[in-house]
A = this chain, B = another copy of it.
Amino acid sequence: MKLSEGVEQAIHCVAMLSQLSEDGVLSAAALAEFHGVKTSYLLKHLQALSGAGVLRTLPGPKGGYRLARAPQSISLLDILLAVEGPEPAFRCQEIRQRGPNPLPVKPRGPCQINAAMLRAEQSYRAELRRTSIADVLTEVAAKDEDGAIEARGCAFLAVHERRQGG
């Protein structure tokens, strides 16, 4: 029950991309440098986000990544599913039907243990679904009384953001 580190990196990247201008993009190298992570590894997750329709990519020099839609409509669940895949954490192996004396007939309903675990996971996903990147940024801004976090992000964007002027 461990999430890969890519999830955290992906969320931070999406949060950062939310703060650039409408026509701006940010390269994977810049994102990796800002977060102090390996570019090659981050690329894998950025590609996953791009494939999932969360990010939009712009090839070529002056290229990079930007959000595919507004931060209000990007949930943490979208990012999680893009990076970790859609399959649930608990995968019922139907061990009821295994062993030397399995259930003679195929059980009518699903395994109740599986149902209970999936119920919990639905609760987990529901919480992530109702939390958008915009919400997270709002919380960050609320706690960022001295503006240090915002200042850091702005300073970095001022240097590395690429405007598609025209």
Interface residues of A (CB under 8 A from B): 1-5, 7-9, 11-12, 15, 33-37, 76, 80, 84-85, 89-93, 95-96, 98-105, 107-109, 112-117, 119-121, 123-128, 131, 135-136, 139-140, 143, 145, 148-149, 152, 155-156
Contact = CB atoms under 8 A, between A and B. Distances in A.
Contact of A36 (B7, B95, B148): B95
Contacts of A119: 127, 131
A76 B126 CA distance: 20
How many copies of this chain? 2
A50 B116 CA distance: 23
Contacts of A125: 120
A121 B90 CA distance: 14
Given A3-B90, A89-B1, A92-B8, A117 B76 contact: yes
A11 B113 contact: yes
A127 B80 CA distance: 20
A126 B98 CA distance: 31
Contact of A123 (B9, B90, B123, B149): B123
15 contacts: A8-B90, A8-B91, A8-B114, A15-B113, A35-B98, A36-B102, A101-B156, A103-B152, A107-B149, A109-B143, A115-B139, A117-B128, A120-B128, A123-B124, A124-B124
Given A3-B89, A76-B116, A89-B3, A36 B100 contact: yes
Given A8-B93, A36-B95, A101-B155, 6 more contacts: A1-B2, A1-B7, A3-B117, A33-B99, A34-B100, A120-B128
